[in-house]
């Protein structure tokens, strides 16, 4: 069990079948753009007050001007649906990002991090990612100076490395030296998947935190092979062995403020997921907080969900906690087999199956 750092809070108000939580935030979400953005944004905005918006569009959002334009498109999409939602923007780190761009981003007031940072080839739309970390040191110095956090997709991309070892080796080869070289740099290891990642974050300085997804709390790697190959359970980092899932769950319910909610909800059109080279990503925004409630409920830890979902993230980023609430009801519902958008179809997690908790609108 990870070391526990208790977080002040009431744990959410609950009865046997209802749970009232301070409205949570999603600290790692992919909204895409254009028609996809307009279609998927309501799922996130109904559940979360704020979202840390990942910048790996095609082409990616790597300048302040591009982040401003993308933010305006998100706000316009929310307004068109009558939704209140605050996008927290990020910049995509490339080999050409400059310290001056980092300082401008910090001064903007709407860019909250740099990331999700990829080594080239790590995941969807990562072709523009960095080719190595050594050349990024001037940028890391500027981020340390301005207190702009670094969000890392923690996988090496060496084709000789076993897929299931990529996170562990990233921590050993890259993350440990970065933490030692830049002790004041705030770092979030995104969507962690292994016991080694949990142990590293627990033992790291307070400047290091991690997000955990609902699908990594609920599924192990067997899910990719149920009924044959299941492309809709394919994500990066990939699902891992059961003992890693148990370590993630222990971290999430521990009360340790270094761990918080980041859904990594990633919509892809059905043909892209079911192609010979399947896109990596699982769409969970349709039931994001409900799936977390299910994971916590299964280990009788619902009283720990509010801190994980609503307090730890804003506390780490130095932002105020939300003042309004959401209500969940323990009443199962059937997830649609498909979500039909104007120009695409998405297969969500649990398609055709049930989720045990429901958001009370």
Mean pLDDT of 103-112: 98
**Is-contact 165 155, C-beta < 8 A?**
no
CATH of domain 15-360: 3.20.20.140
User: Of the listed 25, 26, 43, 264, which one is catalytic?
Assistant: 264
pTM for the predicted model, two decimal places: 0.94
Tell whether the torsion through CA atoms of 194, 199, 200 and 206 is positive or negative.
Answer: positive
Q: How far is CA 291 from CA 52, 208, 216, 247, 270, in A?
A: 19, 25, 11, 18, 22
* Residue 232 DSSP symbol: G
List pLDDT tens digits, range 80-99. Answer: 999 999 999 999 999 999 99
Angstrom distance (rounded) from CA 89 to CA 10: 30
List pLDDT tens digits, range 51-91. Answer: 999 999 999 999 999 999 999 999 999 999 999 999 999 99
Asked if the bond preceding 25 is cis, omega within 30° of 0, the reply is no
43 catalytic? Reply is no
């Amino acid at each position: 069990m990870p070391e526990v750092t208790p977080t002040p809070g009431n744990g959410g108000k609950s009865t046997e079948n209802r749970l009232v939580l301070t409205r949570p935030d999603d600290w790692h979400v992919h909204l895409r753009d254009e028609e996809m953005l307009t279609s998927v944004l309501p799922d996130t905005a109904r559940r979360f007050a704020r979202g840390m918006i990942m910048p790996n569009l095609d082409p990616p959002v790597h300048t302040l001007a591009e982040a401003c334009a993308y933010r305006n498109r998100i706000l316009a999409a929310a307004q068109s649906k009558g939704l209140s939602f605050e996008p927290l923007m990020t910049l995509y780190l490339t080999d050409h990002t400059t310290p001056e761009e980092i300082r401008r981003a910090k001064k903007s007031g709407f860019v909250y991090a740099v990331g999700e940072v990829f080594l080239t080839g790590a995941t969807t739309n990562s072709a523009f990612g960095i080719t190595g970390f050594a050349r990024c040191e001037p940028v890391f110095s500027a981020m340390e100076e301005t207190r702009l956090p670094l969000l890392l997709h923690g996988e090496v991309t060496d084709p000789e490395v076993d897929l299931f070892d990529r996170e562990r080796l990233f921590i050993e080869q890259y993350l440990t030296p970065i933490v030692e070289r830049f002790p004041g740099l705030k770092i979030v290891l995104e969507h962690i998947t292994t016991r080694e990642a949990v142990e590293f974050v627990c033992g790291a300085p307070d400047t290091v935190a991690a997000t955990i997804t609902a699908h990594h709390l609920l599924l192990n790697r067997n899910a990719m092979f149920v009924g044959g190959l299941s492309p809709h359970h394919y994500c990066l980092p990939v699902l891992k062995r059961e003992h890693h899932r148990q370590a993630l769950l222990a971290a999430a319910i521990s009360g340790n403020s270094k761990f918080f909610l980041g859904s990594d909800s990633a919509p892809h059109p059905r043909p892209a997921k079911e192609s010979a080279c399947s896109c990596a990503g699982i769409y969970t925004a349709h039931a994001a907080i409900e799936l977390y409630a299910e994971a916590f409920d299964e280990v009788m830890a619902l009283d720990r969900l509010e801190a994980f979902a609503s307090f730890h993230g804003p506390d780490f980023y130095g932002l105020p906690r939300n003042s309004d609430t959401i209500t969940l009801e323990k009443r199962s519902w059937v997830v649609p087999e498909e979500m039909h958008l104007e120009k695409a179809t998405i297969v969500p997690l649990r398609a055709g199956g049930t989720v045990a908790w429901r958001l009370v609108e």
